[in-house]
Structure 1
Amino acid sequence: MRDGQVFSTRLNHVVTTEREFDELVTKSLPELLDRATGQTKRFLRETNQWDDDITHEKLALRWGYELVERFVVFGRTEVPCRPFFLLDSLIAKSFSQPDPLCYHKELLTPVGRFLDGLASRAVVSRDALIALFYHFYGFSQAHVVKLLGFGQAESQRVYKNFERWRQTGWQRTMNETGLSGSDIASLEEQLRSKPDHLNHEVERLMPILQSHYRKSEPEHYPCLSEQKWGQLFQDDYGHDYRVWHLALCRDCFMEVADRRQTEVGGKSKPQVNLHIHPLKKGGVLALFGGDRGGRHHGSPRTQRLSRTSA
């Protein structure tokens, strides 16, 4: 019997310890990905959202990756379990959510796939979650720290999030999203030539994406009133709340960023300011009042931020 068949058989049997689960899953990732991708294709076909083309093949593969990653993260808490059965359960639950993100035509465009890739990755990666502040609004690590009101220990964690995202996280996400080099180049050209148009498109798509992916947010993280946000910062609690919710809720982000302009250092109202590539090491950027479109390196209106690396 081939190794793949052995692992597939074992995935149908009960694993009783977290260690056994981790070892089996590590050796069986191809089988798990194949199962998740296959079920994704089946779901898209049954909901009349499937076309036999490379775009939908890449979409199914990326959803498969996302489902397996969630399975790896949360599966350990379900031991003892049968891994294949648990994966099937997770997939069924994911696709049975109300208002599933399947599949707005706009999200099959390069900018839609880019935003969707970032948001879906943020659900399972804190590096990606923190990076949303930069890709959506142009916030550097220093600005994120000030926006969230973090102390020294948490600040260092944010710098490390930015560093890991810059080194490996962004490229991995682009690979999983299926965006080609020409797709990225096209987005960059749009951002250079028509930044306001592209940022307007991002603003239009953000509520669709965020309302979907916030279903992964803890249920006790609702939107807050301006008064309650102020109390949360004043009493210095809810640090995880700030990261999760503000990264995935544009309305609350705008409210908090506007309220904390003095701390953050912005000179005007916060706004969507799309950036394609991760922030380069050195952190040069104009906040709020600068050019939209990610053209921050070398601009006369930029301000120099910390060069501390993670």
Structure 2
Amino acid sequence: MSDRTTTVGRLDEVVSTPEEFDRAVSQALPVLLDRATSYTKRFLRETGQWSEDVAHEKFVLRWGAEYLERFLICGRSEVPCRPLFLLDSLVAKQHSQPEPFCYHPDLLTPLGRFLDGIVARAAISRDALIGLYHHCYGFGPGDVIALTGLNGSESQRIYKNFRRWRDSGWQRAMDEVGMTEAELNELSSRQERHPQRFNGESERLIRFAQAHYRKSEPDHYPCLSRPQWEEMFTQGYGYDYRIWHLALCLDCMQTAWALGSKGTPAVDKPRVELRVRP
């Protein structure tokens, strides 16, 4: 019996405690990732959205990794369970939703992959999160500081985040989603030729991606009412929430802008003006 078969067999056995779950899955992460990735590839094939190329391979690998991460987080609270069955059910549940995020046909276009890549990265990287203000709205560090009402040491961090994203973070994100130089140049060319149409298409996808990835951090997911935003800015709290949520919600960003502008805005009203390069 091969090592892989033995590992799968262990995952098929019932684990009764969180500690048993951790031991079982820690020895089988490559197998679990391969299983989640294979399911995603199969579903994309069944829906006619699969192509045999590097970009699609990287796409399913990234989604397989996201499903595996969710499995590792929720699995400890699902014991007793059979880990293999739990992973299968989690992936099946994601793919059986009325409009699974990874099924969105535009996500496999160059524009969709670009936006999905930078927004997904923003969910796990502060540098990418701050970079999102630039890519989606054309903001620089000073604009972000003015919009979010930061001061002192927090302001200095914004400049550092921008610099690191520009120096290395952006290229790493592009490599992860398999964006080629030709595809990036074509996106820039489309933006120059038809800016209004391009930004309109970008806004539709950005809103879709933002709503999905906000849920990766539930405490930061809910949109606040205008009075709640006003209280937060007036009382001077919630800096981390502002930075996170406003980057991932255009509607709340415009609300915050209106509260801070007082008729003499430090920055123009936020609207989608996609920037391909940092």
Give the TM-score, by structure 2 length.
Answer: 0.77
Distance in 2 of aligned mates of 1:164 and 1:84: 39
* More deviation, 34-43/177-186: 34-43
Distance in 2 of aligned mates of 1:162 and 1:240: 16
Please give the per-residue CA displacement for 1:98-124, whole angstroms capped at 9, x wherever unaligned.
Answer: 532242333322112211212222223
Contact 1:40/1:64 (8 A) holds in 2: yes
| 1:140 shift after superposition | 1.8
Cα distance change, pair 251–41 in 1 and its aligned pair in 2 (3 A): same
Contact 1:62/1:178 (8 A) holds in 2: no
Structure with more helix by fraction: 2
Q: Match of 2:109?
A: 109
Distance in 2 of aligned mates of 1:155 and 1:98: 42
- Are 1:265 and 2:241 counterparts? no
Distance in 2 of aligned mates of 1:19 and 1:103: 31
Question: What is the number of residues matched between the two proteins?
Answer: 272
Please give the per-residue CA displacement for 1:160-182, whole angstroms capped at 9, x wherever unaligned.
Answer: 43333233322222122121121
What are the residue-to-residue correspondences of 1:1-310 with 2, within 5 Å? 16=19, 24=26, 30-45=30-45, 48-54=47-53, 56-68=56-68, 74=73, 87-88=87-88, 90-97=90-97, 99-218=99-218, 221-261=221-261, 265-266=266-267, 268-278=268-278
Please give the per-residue CA displacement for 1:168-215, whole angstroms capped at 9, x wherever unaligned.
Answer: 322222122121121111112223333333222212322222233333
* More deviation, 218-227/113-122: 218-227
Cα distance change, pair 164–66 in 1 and its aligned pair in 2 (3 A): farther
State the secondary structure of the residue aligned to 2:33.
Answer: helix
Contact 1:16/1:79 (8 A) holds in 2: no
Contact 1:145/1:155 (8 A) holds in 2: yes
Distance in 2 of aligned mates of 1:76 and 1:127: 30
| 1:70 shift after superposition | 5.3
Distance in 2 of aligned mates of 1:75 and 1:269: 40
Distance in 2 of aligned mates of 1:96 and 1:243: 33
| 1:89 shift after superposition | 5.7
Give the TM-score, by structure 1 length.
Answer: 0.70
* More deviation, 86-95/152-161: 86-95
TM-align CA RMSD: 3.6
State the secondary structure of the residue aligned to 2:270.
Answer: coil
Gap runs ≥5 in structure 2: none
Gap runs ≥5 in structure 1: 279-310
Aligned residues with identical type, % of pairs: 49
